[in-house]
Chains A and B, each alone.
Chain A
Amino acid sequence: TNVKSVFLLQLKVLICRNYKGDVDMAEIDHFMPLLMQHEEEGLICPVISHGNVHFLWIKHSNLYLVAMTNKNSNASLVYSFLYKLVEVFTEYFKELEEESIQDNFVVVYELLDELMDFGFPQTTDSKILQEYITQEGAKLEVAKSKVPTTVTNAVSWRSEGIKYKKNEVFIDVIESINVLRGIEPGVNANGSVMSSDIVGSIKLKTMLSGMPELRLGLNDRVLFALTGRDKGKTVVMEDVKFHQCVRLSRFESDRTISFIPPDGESELMSYRINTHVKPLIWIESVIEKFSHSRVEIMVKAKGQFKKQSVANNVEVRVPVPSDADSPKFKTSTGHAKYVPEKNLVVWTIKSFPGGKEFLMRAHFGLPSVENDELEGKPPITVKFEIPYFTVSGIQVRYMKIIEKSGYQALPWVRYITQSGDYQLRTNV
């Protein structure tokens, strides 16, 4: 990569950093007009070119992060870097938006200098950055006497001399389930699942003293096959990604996940499981549209998971035509609400036990003069959260913690399954 400069904009440039000094910074003035023009023409694209300058951009809430380059750069690297910026800024300011940039512009300048030098990414780990780029001057004074070890350390993500009274690790296993259900070619029939997968992530909150060595054991099928064990349920993980602290060579040779954890919160690993999962909440819907008069909606939701489990905060979002009016609802549980600005009926069920079935009926009036604008066929989407349960059946078998001082530490494990991209297409 050779990024010439980076800009943060919201209609106008909020902050810019010129890394190479050999490009005209005024080039950025072409960015917004070009973007708007492309938007109008429906040809929006993450690369915008003007002459021999190329803008690679991403959008975060209403903020544009733009990298300007005039070399033939490696696109995925530039985008990854821009997302890294978002990640670092978000960890610093909680929310990355115009206001937080304005309030913290000095830190933003500093971070931009540390993250990249002469167009090349440098220190991008936010844990390390937080050790010496701090928002309060007072802290910096202290830092002056203490040389941050991480910058020179072999273990760059953890500094030495961390102390806790009570040594604990909290492990969260979070799985998101993505479902896309199609429609049968027939009329109003509910189709079958076209694609589904599980995206899992294991997050740590480490409160451990010193330089602990951790080893995590999962019911990984490849591991069990390697060691010749064949007891109980195992899971095949694909696309496994690790935090940089995990020793990849060990994992590649004998599937052991061993690491010195970063202090505090971090994502240890993520994985994807590409199996055909039964949708945990199954929706059957009948949406009948009688032109010029009314729409009738019947939605049945069924919990297709164990009776002992309970899904919390279930939301079923059913699309309705934009010109619908006078809503009437009837639900067997929970409550339904019309959200006209999003053209949705949101049916909320606070707690939804496994194996149960609930019903919602809605009735809308339609104006006699039909809206002849083409409306897409938005899908029904579902949101939910099921604690103490993973769809894939993945389990933490053990977490070994060894530190040379020999303290005892407790690992705490929590499982949760939630909806990811959960779409059920409809006919109307």
Chain B
Amino acid sequence: MPYLGSEDMVKELRRALSNPNVQSDQLRYRNTILKVIRAMSQGVDVSGLFSEIVKACATVDIVQKKLVYVFLCSYAALNPELSLLVINTLRKDCQDPNPMVRSLALRNMTNLRLSSLVEYVEQPLTAGLRDRAACVRRVAVLGWAKLHNLQPNSEIDATVVNELYSLLRDPDPVVMVNCLRALEEILKEEGGVAINKPIAHHLLNRLKECDVWGQCEVLRILERYRPQSDDELFDILSLLDTSLVSQHPPVMAATLSLFLSLCSALPAVSLSALERVRAPLLAACGSTSRELRFTALCHIQLLLRSVPGLMGAHYKRFFCGYAEPAYIKQRKMQVLVELVNDENVAMLLDELKGYCTDVNTDTAQAAISAIGRIGRSYSDQCLQILTGLLGLKQEHITSAVVQTMRDLVWVCPQCSDTVCLALEGCEENLQDTQGRQALLWLLGVYGERISSAPYVLEVFIDGVRSETSLEVKMELLTATLRLFLCRPAETQDMLGRLLHYCIEEETDMCVRDQALLYYHLLHCGIEETRKVLQGRRSDPSLGVLIGRPVEPISQWAHSFNTLEPLRQGTVTTDSSNKGSPEHVTSDPKPNSDLSDDLKPCQIETVQTASDSASLCTEYSTDALSSSAVAPLSLSLSPALSPEEFERLWLQRQSLHAEQGGEEKEDGDYLCTEECVQCPTIPHCSPQNLQAALQLVNIQTLAFTPPHTLPWRVYLYTHTHSSCSASKPPSTLILGELLYTGEPKEDCSKMVMEGSHEQLTTEGEEAAVDRLRGRESARQQSQTEDVKVTLKQQPRDDKALKGFLSVLTTVLHTLSTETT
């Protein structure tokens, strides 16, 4: 065919279509129409041929009919008047003896999407619902949904709705499922199709007849049904059992989702359902389709939040194949990190080590940061691998290792010696901003133990003129100032040069302002500077972080089997690459860019979660103490990560310290201290305490080991008050339990000192020894109290009092049990 511009082509086609010779030769006519459709699918605008094509509709040739329909459905909206001409042919076809012709006509009639045609379409659609051929009924049922979709505000015809409800009993399973779909659409305003007991059981009984798509639809809609008794509930659950272990991942996922919604009040049953889906989920992880593999992995991550041990024995199933895409490898690594335990740690680390040299740099860096995560529990093995990786002298690897080490020492300060040794010389292999930033942070904080620190900083300072990264310059300022505080002789000169450059020549306001701030700070004296720059550190005595707290299933059940889990992890992985741990932004949750309409049910579900929790707390507080407690409910959601806790705690700490008061209060914040008599508490095992507090919805985050002094526990909870409207609906309470072994009079002083002044390891050991001595001397003394420091935001005295009474009751109960 000669090349024609689109205008010429349309002209040419019009001439052919209106040529009587072509029209009389069926084959030629059809081929010409075919050419039109081809041009259309190649993006040529052939809408101008509408009237010619409409004429071609009246034909006995089915193929030609189908071609015309394809054309009409694409352009009908542009020519509503001309489309009227087709409707008669379509209506005639609806009475054709061939069911295929009938369903074709019916479907295309509704696909024209013209509200002007509605009155002509209704009658054939009504007839279609009663057609003897299932394929026509299928189309007719969905046709009503399309019609309603076209005029969403129109009156709903009750007879049609009734007819659709009765067609739920249609012998054809697809008609049944289409009825559900259509009613969902038509009754959207009323909350969708109504599911009563007979309908629910009818659907359950016919579930097996449906194909995969139909089963998923039925299962989704059944989530709306609430069984009337436990007996009925368990009948339904046993009917669903085979679908739960279905080999079709969509069916399995939809069934689990239904299980979780039916059993939201029965956590034990939900947990056993999670156990049941382990095998099919693992099978889906081995699916040949990588997208299904990916989806399964993302859902496994959700399950692990509530049952961390679910996949422990199957960790090898999450090893990466060489040719797998990066997004699967990275998810697998995230899962592997969760599965680590004493038995498999060596094997797992060895495997991860292999991924660190992956050709894909993102995968390599993800592997390195995974090793860092494991390092929080198995620091020696991990540091050995990380140090070894520095030897490869690859830029992207070195950068990831240094960032990982920075994140690791922040959580596990005991690693700092090894890290300091490893850092020597690695600056030569660092090019990217994040890596250099991490190195600078480490040099500033641990400068006194890294002999070459001043020389490395000097190189940076000499090159500051050509430095393009704002972040690096700001980090450099802080690091140099910090180093100056511990090694003034070596650093003074270069600090001066750096400040001079940043104040006099730097054009960026942020850098300049920071330099000016430091300059003025130095004028206030060394001690002041030290207080500002060396204030915040993790408490090294808090080594034992008891894993990640197990979340209740209700935390994630609403997002199960949606797009959400597929999108989440990608955001969390790189949150650690955003600069120094101190600078972690105040944004508590990674800001996933899921649009709002993706989580329509979230608010509602959280609400129910806290409701069930409140029941539980009320019950247990009643059981634990007879004292009158204001109606108060505690809940663990939203969960708080250790990092967030520390940030919030320290933020309050500094405010508190500045005011210097015993009790600091302002409008939305309250800090109080109480002493509770329960001398044996510091000797009970962290597991017991954690379990006991979790019963009343208080989450413990960190412990010192039992018998050490000072003994500490950090915990948090959320309160929800339901009674008064004037009070804030919910508050966050952070708490610290502190036991120093000192008599009551001194302990308040200890809190003030112990928590924001960092003791050197040596000094601390001495202090502990000293305290131990005293403790043994006062073994029998009853004056030893556990000091409870609570921080609440926003302020709500009543709730805080209620919380304190719950906490005290638990501590007392435990205390009597331990003795």
Chain B residue, CB-CB nearest to A151:
B135
Q: Is the CB of B322 within 8 A of A72?
A: no
Tell me which of A90-98, A237-245, A354-362 binds B: A237-245
Chain B residue, CB-CB nearest to A19:
B111
Residues of A within 8 Å of B133, CB to CB, are 147, 151-152
Residues of B within 8 Å of A113, CB to CB, are 107
Does B540 reach chain A (CB closer than 8 Å)? no
- A160-193 vs B, CB cutoff 8 Å, 1 = contact: the mask equals 0000000000000000000010100100000000
Chain B residue, CB-CB nearest to A138:
B63
Number of interchain pairs (Cβ within 8 Å): 207
Q: A76-B292, A241-B247 are contacts. A423–B354 as well, Cβ < 8 Å?
A: no
Q: Is the CB of B570 within 8 A of A43?
A: yes
- A119-133 vs B, CB cutoff 8 Å, 1 = contact: the mask equals 011111100000010
Residues of B within 8 Å of A147, CB to CB, are 98-100, 133
Does B576 reach chain A (CB closer than 8 Å)? no
Within B350-385, the residues touching A (CB, 8 Å) are 350-351, 354, 357-363
Residues of A within 8 Å of B283, CB to CB, are 238-239, 272
Does B317 reach chain A (CB closer than 8 Å)? yes
Interface on chain A toward B: helix, strand, loop, or mixed SS? Answer: mixed
Residues of B within 8 Å of A239, CB to CB, are 247, 279-280, 283
Q: Is the CB of B326 within 8 A of A122?
A: no
Q: Which of A74, A83, A240 contacts B247 (CB 8 A)?
A: A240
Q: Which of A47, A117, A248 contacts B563 (CB 8 A)?
A: A47
Q: Is the CB of A144 within 8 A of B599?
A: no
Within A60-96, the residues touching B (CB, 8 Å) are 70-77, 79-83
Does B598 reach chain A (CB closer than 8 Å)? yes
Q: Which of A46, A249, A272 contacts B566 (CB 8 A)?
A: A46
Q: Which of A44, A83, A117, A252 contacts B327 (CB 8 A)?
A: A44
Residues of B within 8 Å of A76, CB to CB, are 249-250, 253, 284, 292, 295-296, 561
Residues of A within 8 Å of B41, CB to CB, are 14-15, 105, 109
A118 to B184, CA, bound (A): 13
Residue among A14, A52, A109, A272 having the largest count of chain B Cβ atoms under 10 Å: A109
Residues of B within 8 Å of A20, CB to CB, are 149
Q: Which of A70, A75, A378 contacts B322 (CB 8 A)?
A: A378
Q: Is the CB of B327 within 8 A of A140?
A: no
Q: Is the CB of A152 within 8 A of B134?
A: yes
Does B321 reach chain A (CB closer than 8 Å)? yes
Does A148 reach chain B (CB closer than 8 Å)? yes
Chain A residue, CB-CB nearest to B242:
A252
- B100-133 vs A, CB cutoff 8 Å, 1 = contact: the mask equals 1100000100000100000000000000000001
Tell me which of B210-218, B406-414, B531-539, B630-638 binds A: B210-218
Q: Is the CB of A124 within 8 A of B211?
A: yes
Q: Is the CB of B319 within 8 A of A195?
A: yes
Chain A residue, CB-CB nearest to B182:
A118
Within A232-291, the residues touching B (CB, 8 Å) are 238-241, 244, 248-249, 252, 272
Does A21 reach chain B (CB closer than 8 Å)? yes
- B302-336 vs A, CB cutoff 8 Å, 1 = contact: the mask equals 00000000000000110101100111000000000
Q: A76-B250, A105-B38, A195-B319 are contacts. A120–B213 as well, Cβ < 8 Å?
A: yes
Does B706 reach chain A (CB closer than 8 Å)? no
Chain B residue, CB-CB nearest to A108:
B41
Tell me which of B139-147, B447-455, B479-487 binds A: B139-147
Residues of A within 8 Å of B280, CB to CB, are 239
Does B659 reach chain A (CB closer than 8 Å)? no
Q: Is the CB of A180 within 8 A of B321?
A: yes
Does A400 reach chain B (CB closer than 8 Å)? no
Q: Is the CB of A52 within 8 A of B248?
A: no
A377 to B211, CA, bound (A): 44
A45 to B100, CA, bound (A): 40
Q: Is the CB of A118 within 8 A of B317?
A: no
Residue among B62, B63, B291 having the largest count of chain A Cβ atoms under 10 Å: B291
Residues of B within 8 Å of A194, CB to CB, are 316, 319
A182 to B37, CA, bound (A): 55
Residues of B within 8 Å of A151, CB to CB, are 99, 133-135
Does B668 reach chain A (CB closer than 8 Å)? no
Q: A1-B216, A58-B291, A118-B146 are contacts. A140–B319 as well, Cβ < 8 Å?
A: no
Residue among A121, A122, A239 having the largest count of chain B Cβ atoms under 10 Å: A122
Residues of B within 8 Å of A272, CB to CB, are 283, 286
Q: A15-B41, A239-B283, A377-B357 are contacts. A49–B321 as well, Cβ < 8 Å?
A: no
Does B567 reach chain A (CB closer than 8 Å)? yes
Does A141 reach chain B (CB closer than 8 Å)? yes
Residues of B within 8 Å of A82, CB to CB, are 291
- A309-326 vs B, CB cutoff 8 Å, 1 = contact: the mask equals 000000000000000000
Q: Is the CB of B360 within 8 A of A80?
A: no
Residues of B within 8 Å of A13, CB to CB, are 43
Chain A residue, CB-CB nearest to B173:
A156
Tell me which of B262-270, B589-597, B696-704 binds A: B589-597
Distance (whole angstroms) from the CB of A187 to the closest CB of chain B: 14
Distance (whole angstroms) from the CB of A82 to the closest CB of chain B: 8
Interface size on A (CB < 8 Å)? Answer: 80
Residues of A within 8 Å of B596, CB to CB, are 52
Chain B residue, CB-CB nearest to A377:
B357
Q: Is the CB of A118 within 8 A of B213?
A: no
Q: Is the CB of A105 within 8 A of B37?
A: yes
Residues of A within 8 Å of B600, CB to CB, are 72
Q: A74-B561, A80-B212, A105-B37 are contacts. A45–B570 as well, Cβ < 8 Å?
A: yes
A81 to B37, CA, bound (A): 26
Q: Which of B177, B208, B250, B595 contacts A249 (CB 8 A)?
A: B208
Does A34 reach chain B (CB closer than 8 Å)? no
Q: Which of B38, B248, B327, B350 contacts A185 (CB 8 A)?
A: B350
Within B170-224, the residues touching A (CB, 8 Å) are 172, 174, 177-178, 181, 208, 211-213, 216-217, 220
Q: Is the CB of A73 within 8 A of B562?
A: yes
Distance (whole angstroms) from the CB of A312 to the closest CB of chain B: 24
Does A220 reach chain B (CB closer than 8 Å)? no
Does A341 reach chain B (CB closer than 8 Å)? no
Distance (whole angstroms) from the CB of A275 to the closest CB of chain B: 14
Residues of B within 8 Å of A423, CB to CB, are 321-322
Chain B residue, CB-CB nearest to A12:
B43
Q: Is the CB of B322 within 8 A of A144?
A: no
Does B464 reach chain A (CB closer than 8 Å)? no
Does B30 reach chain A (CB closer than 8 Å)? yes
A15 to B600, CA, bound (A): 32
Q: Is the CB of B217 within 8 A of A45?
A: no
Chain B residue, CB-CB nearest to A13:
B43
A248 to B243, CA, bound (A): 11
A125 to B294, CA, bound (A): 25
Residues of B within 8 Å of A109, CB to CB, are 37, 41, 70
A147 to B37, CA, bound (A): 28
A241 to B248, CA, bound (A): 8
Q: Which of B181, B242, B394, B593 contacts A118 (CB 8 A)?
A: B181
Does A51 reach chain B (CB closer than 8 Å)? yes
Chain A residue, CB-CB nearest to B33:
A106
Would you list the 7 A-B pairs with minimal beta carbon distance, nearest first? A121-B213, A52-B595, A77-B250, A376-B359, A42-B362, A137-B63, A239-B283
**What are 10 A-B pairs with beta-carbon distances under 8 A?**
A43-B362, A51-B595, A52-B596, A74-B562, A82-B291, A105-B41, A106-B34, A238-B283, A240-B247, A374-B394
Enumerate chain B interface residues (CB-CB to A < 8 A).
30, 34, 37-38, 41, 43, 61-63, 66-67, 70, 98-101, 107, 113, 133-135, 138-139, 142, 145-146, 149, 172, 174, 177-178, 181, 208, 211-213, 216-217, 220, 242, 247-250, 253-254, 279-280, 283-284, 286, 289-292, 294-296, 316-317, 319, 321-322, 325-327, 350-351, 354, 357-363, 394, 561-564, 566-567, 570, 593-600
| Apart from A137-B62, A141-B62, 19 more pairs, CB < 8 Å | A42-B360, A42-B361, A45-B570, A46-B327, A49-B595, A73-B562, A73-B563, A74-B253, A75-B291, A76-B253, A77-B213, A79-B289, A79-B292, A109-B37, A124-B213, A144-B100, A151-B99, A239-B279, A425-B354
